[in-house]
Chains A and B, each alone.
Chain A
């Protein structure tokens, strides 16, 4: 209602187009595209500038209300519903739009409860070296809390920006600026030094069947990293999950309540406990996100057991691409916690030579090692 009043007010009188805009905006919001009042007003202005035939209405609405190419396919559908007619050409590039996923909640394989190991050590010490695959439900609960409390610190890189500092390069403008105030005499030199900026972190989680015992714990770890980014906008942490297809989870993992965030992320993934196509999934990551530069000079953390069902050549190609763009690749593998572990799995053997740091991830202690390793990457 507010929108209608505002849109109507901006046009000087209530008119049918303002009403049409309000209906369209409401339909877009219902479809999940956020449209603000400011945008509805802009749309009314745009209509006045462009005209009110169908094509003009289409472009006026699209140009003012849509700000993400991923939304355009959805916009076209909503527009067609709100303004039924056929004279608008379909945009050919709607292929770039991510296919809407059917959200199915495939969680809940907490079937077999092992007997809790006795022992008098504190929960933390007891759980520290307990394999994730052998934990009971209540232990997993405690583990989640422990992971939530992990002090994740993200690696930094040297930024191109400089700021005033006690040493470094001579800051010519500031030195001269001060010299002018002292009649052109340089009394003190001013210096500038490089700042450091956080590196981007890209976490890629394998949630296929063979990782079932670890996926939820690792998702919790990803959440702990995401929360660092939530507290500080200059930090960037992106989280993806894959089994047979790649799903971006960064937005789901922003919920304040950790359990709710994990549930939201779990609901987003459609291929829990399915097959593993690491190569295809990493390839999808490179193509959609790498092309846009997400991986450039980032630290990429891949969590997988390397049991590849797809083509190992494809995995190698994708890893090579990631290696060329990323600053550092960390591969964590829960199987590596086993002392008899040999990286002979098809995927792991292919990927290992291209990995900078290879770590186990079978217990809480190994996650602590990972966190320390990340912080130490320069």
Chain B
């Protein structure tokens, strides 16, 4: 049993079926330790992987969802001003003067995900989701945090992580990330799983789906991915489709074309793509029948 097998088994325990590439990436992210940048089409399981790593290490993932305009006060820390003010007023009424030092204490500090991760250190799994949505300035700031895991709060002092936490970044490539950030990270592209693994994932994630349905859905999905769609279906869509089709009929032999076409909205969420997919499905049904 090698370490890689341990990682594979550990992730499988968390209901995440990894391949060798993913397992290697996870192992390096933990051991080196270096941030791991994950890219891939929507729905291939980037965020799920981070959650599985956290669960494997017995931690709750600390998640920082990036968005346009995100800044330090949302990512790092902020002071709870309303409570500080109330505290000040309460002090006045009771006649106890409280100095400003008491106001800038831990009690009034709102720790945001990055500070939380620095505090927990090696125990933490930090998920920085959709980093491509944040802007360049935030990326530069993040780079600084990721290089020394040290946060300085002027009123409190410097907090340093005992050891770097496991950091997973995901990106949907809406913006090219800076080379500096890419170089700091390990990089893994998560592709769509191969047929076998997809069947296994469907069975694992949707236990009430019969194996024969999973098999069928996986091959239909693979066919749809071969079309040049604007948004190719991800694994999440395969799982949903398998569930929906099972609810209609547990035996693929009895599926009618209508079963597939009417449920297509679960898999394909774009009008033009749906037209293309419906045509392909009709053809597949014809070929099969």
A residues with a Cβ closer than 8 A to B are 36, 38-39, 42, 45-46, 49-51, 55-56, 59-60, 62-64, 66-69, 72, 91-93, 159-162, 172-173, 176-177, 179-181, 183-184, 197, 233-234, 286-287, 291-294, 296, 317, 321
User: In the complex, which residues of chain B have a beta carbon less than 8 angstroms from the beta carbon of A294?
Assistant: 174
Chain B residues within an 8 Å CB radius of A173: 73, 78-79, 81
A-side contacts of B69, CB under 8 Å: 159-162
Interface segment, one of B85-93, B117-125, B201-209, B210-218: B85-93
Closest to A35 in B: B183
Instruction: Kindly list chain A residues whose C-beta atoms are within 8 Å of the C-beta of B39.
Output: 69
- Residues from chain A with a CB closer than 8 A to the CB of B3 are 49-51
Say yes or no: is B194 at the interface (Cβ < 8 Å to chain A).
yes
Chain A residues near B230 (CB, 8 Å)? 286-287, 291, 321
Say which one of B184-192, B242-250, B251-259 lies at the interface with A: B184-192
Please name all residues of chain A whose beta carbon is closer than 8 Å to the beta carbon of B189 when the two chains form the complex.
Answer: 69, 72, 93
B274: which A residues are within 8 A, CB to CB? Answer: none
Q: A-side binding surface: helix, strand, loop or mixed?
A: helix
What separation, in Å, do the CA atoms of A293 and B133 have in the docked complex?
10
12 pairs, CB–CB < 8 Å, chain A vs chain B = A49-B32, A59-B24, A92-B192, A160-B67, A160-B68, A161-B69, A161-B135, A173-B79, A173-B81, A176-B82, A184-B89, A291-B231
Q: How far is the CA of A159 from the CA of B71 in the complex (A)?
A: 12
Tell me whether A50 and B136 are in contact in the complex, defined as CB-CB below 8 angstroms, given that A179-B85, A292-B173, A293-B172 are known contacts.
no
Asked whether, in the complex, the Cβ of B183 is within 8 Å of the Cβ of A293, the reply is no
Contacts of A39 in B (CB 8 A): 183
B100 at the interface (CB under 8 A from A): yes
Q: Is B103 part of the binding interface, using a Cβ–Cβ cutoff of 8 Å?
A: yes
Would you call B183 and A67 a contact (CB within 8 A)?
A: yes
A180 near B20 with CB under 8 A, answer no
Distance of A62 Cα from B231 Cα, bound (Å): 27
Return chain B residues, CB-CB under 8 Å to A317: 272
Residue B262 interfacial (CB < 8 Å): no
The smallest beta-carbon distance between A196 and chain B, in angstroms, is 12
Contacts of A160 in B (CB 8 A): 67-69
Provide the B55-79 mask, 1 if CB < 8 A to any CB of A, else 0: 0000000000001110101000011
User: Using a Cβ–Cβ cut-off of 8 Å, how many residues does chain B contribute to the interface with A?
Assistant: 52
* Residue numbers in A under 8 Å from B79 (CB-CB): 173, 177
Distance (whole angstroms) from the CB of A81 to the closest CB of chain B: 20
Contact B25 A63 (CB under 8 A): yes
In the complex, the answer to whether A184 meets B100 with C-beta atoms within 8 Å is no
A-chain residues with CB within 8 Å of residue B85 when the two chains form the complex:
176, 179-180, 184
A60, B228: Cβ atoms closer than 8 Å: no
Q: Are B28 and A67 in contact (CB under 8 A)?
A: no
B31 part of interface (Cβ distance < 8 Å): yes
B92 and A184 within 8 A (CB): yes
Which chain B residue lies CB-closest to A200? B175
Q: Which residues of A contact B191 (CB under 8 A)?
A: 91-93
| Bound-complex Cα distance A294 to B189 (A) | 20
Cβ-closest chain B residue relative to A45: B32
CB distance from B85 to the nearest CB of A (A): 6
CB within 8 Å of A: which of B1-53? 2-4, 20-21, 24-25, 27-28, 31-32, 34, 37, 39
Bound-state CA distance A39–B183 (Å) is 7
Contact indicator A42/B100 (Cβ below 8 Å): no
Q: Is B81 a contact partner of A292 (Cβ separation < 8 A)?
A: no
Q: In the bound complex, do residue B71 and residue A42 qualify as a contact, i.e. CB atoms below 8 Å apart?
A: no
Pairs of residues from A and B, 3 with the lowest C-beta to C-beta distance, nearest first: A160-B69, A293-B174, A176-B81
Bound-state Cα–Cα, A144 to B103, Å: 63
Q: Within the complex, which residue of B31, B71, B84 is in contact with A49, where a contact is CB–CB below 8 Å?
A: B31
Residues of B contacting A159 in the complex (Cβ-Cβ under 8 angstroms): 68-69
> CA A234 – CA B136 in complex, angstroms?
7
Give complex CA distance A64, B34 in Å. 10
A-facing mask of B148-183, CB < 8 A → 1, else 0? 000000000000000000000000111100010011
Residue of A nearest to B25 (CB): A63
Q: Which residues of A contact B188 (CB under 8 A)?
A: 63
Asked whether A64 lies within 8 Å of B81 as measured between CB atoms, the reply is no
Q: Which residues of A contact B21 (CB under 8 A)?
A: 59, 62
By the criterion CB–CB under 8 Å, are B73 and A292 in contact?
A: no
A-chain residues with CB within 8 Å of residue B185 when the two chains form the complex: 67
In the assembled complex, the Cα of A179 lies from the Cα of B67 at a distance in Å of: 30
Residue of chain B at shortest CB distance from A175: B81
Interface contacts beyond A46-B32, A49-B27: sample of 13 additional A-B pairs, CB < 8 Å, sorted by A: A46-B28, A49-B31, A50-B27, A68-B182, A69-B39, A92-B192, A92-B194, A176-B81, A177-B79, A180-B81, A184-B85, A184-B88, A292-B173
